[in-house]
């Protein structure tokens, strides 16, 4: 079930007895996007994103409220001033829908890779062999637009990651397009099917970064950038803790950790 409640955070106030100013952060209401973010049984926003934003609020003496909305609602809410910030965001997303808006983006908070996960037996096949892709509603499979427009690839949409993964595991489609770290985390830790689908780096995929955006508070976006710089070690520790960039820049992207450890040990043994 999609969360509808407002998640509240009371941040540390730097001046004793003073009331911190409150800002609303619009966040995506995807039920599962761990380890970046997710919602617990009480509908509370959790995960790496929450911890980074909480730390920023505490560091700056602010109070943040987290408001879950759909991707379409988030942009509309940002435009109307219903929310003060949007996370995650990117200057490369929804450019047509953002026309006429003045948006201020933070530095990159965390990097990501979106790509296609396939059954192990299909890994390494040609793009010509991809005829049907599983996709979560609202996502755009970058690098596949031409083939989709020409009818060479058909899209099968799902409401969320769980449904999409089920579809791909049954091999009703040739692969599932999603955030590679998130899909792998789900397969390894939630579905308990490690390795059932694997990232295919030979197929088109996209690298990018998550940013914090605002149309009304450029000075706070600048303050957030200072926080990322001054607290770089703290943010890096959170990345390691949540494994949001796990093997992102290595040949092991999308592999479960035990297999990475095994391959590294084997490589070490084979070195002269």
Domain of 231, CATH number, reads 3.40.190.10
**pLDDT one-digit tens code per residue, 51-109:** 999 999 999 999 999 999 988 899 999 999 999 999 999 999 989 999 999 999 999 99
Is 212 exposed, middle or buried, given 0-12, 13-18 or 19+ CB atoms closer than 10 A?
A: buried
Q: Are residues 17 and 139 located together in one domain of the fold? A: no
Q: Are residues 127 and 181 located together in one domain of the fold? A: yes
Q: E strands, 12-109, where?
A: 22-28, 32-33, 37-39, 45-46, 63-69, 85-89, 104-105
Instruction: Answer whether residue 10 shows pLDDT above 80.
Output: no
Instruction: Answer whether residue 19 shows pLDDT above 60.
Output: no
271 in any annotated domain: no
More confident residue, 170 or 10: 170
User: Once rounded to an integer, what is the mean pLDDT over residues 223-227?
Assistant: 98
Instruction: Tell me the pLDDT band of 255, cut-offs 50, 70 and 90.
Output: low
More confident residue, 193 or 248: 193
Last residue of a domain, one of 145, 180, 206: 206
Report the share of the chain in percent with pLDDT over 90.
68
User: Once rounded to an integer, what is the mean pLDDT over residues 197-203?
Assistant: 93
Instruction: Tell me the pLDDT band of 192, cut-offs 50, 70 and 90.
Output: confident
Instruction: Tell me the pLDDT band of 124, cut-offs 50, 70 and 90.
Output: very high
User: Once rounded to an integer, what is the mean pLDDT over residues 24-47?
Assistant: 93
Q: Are residues 48 and 123 located together in one domain of the fold? A: no
More confident residue, 199 or 4: 199
Instruction: Answer whether residue 2 shows pLDDT above 70.
Output: no
Q: Are residues 97 and 12 located together in one domain of the fold? A: yes
1 in any annotated domain: no
Q: Are residues 99 and 219 located together in one domain of the fold? A: yes
Q: Are residues 83 and 73 located together in one domain of the fold? A: yes
3-state secondary structure of 238: helix
Report the share of the chain in percent with pLDDT over 70.
84
Q: How far out from the chain centre does Cα 45 lie?
A: 14
pLDDT at 18: 42
248 in any annotated domain: no
Handedness of CA 176, 203, 254, 174 (dihedral sign): positive
Residue 92 · residue 207 · CB < 8 Å: no
CA pair distance 91, 94, nearest whole angstrom: 8
196 in any annotated domain: yes
87 in any annotated domain: yes
Instruction: Answer whether residue 119 shows pLDDT above 50.
Output: yes
Q: Are residues 25 and 79 located together in one domain of the fold? A: yes
Instruction: Tell me the pLDDT band of 31, cut-offs 50, 70 and 90.
Output: confident
Handedness of CA 153, 195, 168, 48 (dihedral sign): negative
Last residue of a domain, one of 158, 179, 206: 206
Lowest mean pLDDT among 17-26, 126-135, 157-166, 174-183: 17-26
pLDDT at 7: 52
> Range of 130's domain?
112-206
pLDDT at 137: 85
Q: Are residues 103 and 216 located together in one domain of the fold? A: yes
Q: Are residues 107 and 212 located together in one domain of the fold? A: yes
Determine what percent of the chain falls in helix, strand and coil, rounding each to the nearest 5: 35, 25, 40
Residue 113 · residue 179 · CB < 8 Å: yes
Domain count, the chain: 2
User: Once rounded to an integer, what is the mean pLDDT over residues 173-201?
Assistant: 92
Mean model confidence pLDDT for the chain = 87
User: Once rounded to an integer, what is the mean pLDDT over residues 258-266?
Assistant: 53
Instruction: Answer whether residue 40 shows pLDDT above 80.
Output: yes
């Amino acid at each position: 079930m999609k969360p509808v409640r407002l998640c509240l955070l009371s941040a540390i106030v730097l001046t004793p007895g003073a009331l911190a100013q409150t800002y609303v952060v619009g966040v995506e209401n995807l039920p599962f996007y761990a380890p970046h973010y997710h919602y617990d049984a009480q509908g509370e926003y959790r995960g790496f994103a929450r911890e980074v934003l909480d730390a920023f609020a505490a560091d700056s003496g602010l109070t943040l409220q987290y408001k879950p909305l759909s991707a379409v609602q988030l942009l509309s809410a940002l435009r109307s001033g219903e929310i003060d910030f949007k996370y995650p965001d990117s200057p490369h997303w929804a450019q047509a829908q953002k026309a006429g808006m003045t948006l201020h983006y933070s530095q990159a908070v965390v990097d990501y890779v979106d790509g296609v996960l396939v059954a192990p037996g299909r890994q390494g096949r040609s793009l010509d062999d991809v005829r049907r892709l599983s996709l979560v509603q609202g996502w755009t499979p970058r690098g596949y637009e031409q083939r989709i427009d020409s009818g060479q690839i058909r899209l099968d949409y799902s409401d969320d990651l769980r449904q999409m993964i089920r579809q791909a595991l049954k091999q009703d489609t040739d692969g599932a397009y999603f955030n590679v770290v998130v899909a792998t985390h789900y397969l390894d830790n939630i579905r308990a099917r490690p390795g059932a689908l694997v990232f295919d780096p030979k197929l088109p995929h996209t690298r990018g970064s998550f940013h914090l955006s605002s149309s009304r508070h450029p000075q706070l976006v600048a303050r957030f950038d200072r926080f990322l710089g001054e607290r770089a070690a703290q943010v890096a520790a959170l990345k390691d803790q949540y494994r949001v960039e796990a093997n992102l820049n290595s040949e092991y992207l999308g592999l479960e950790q035990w297999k990475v450890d095994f391959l590294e040990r084997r490589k070490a043994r084979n070195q002269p």
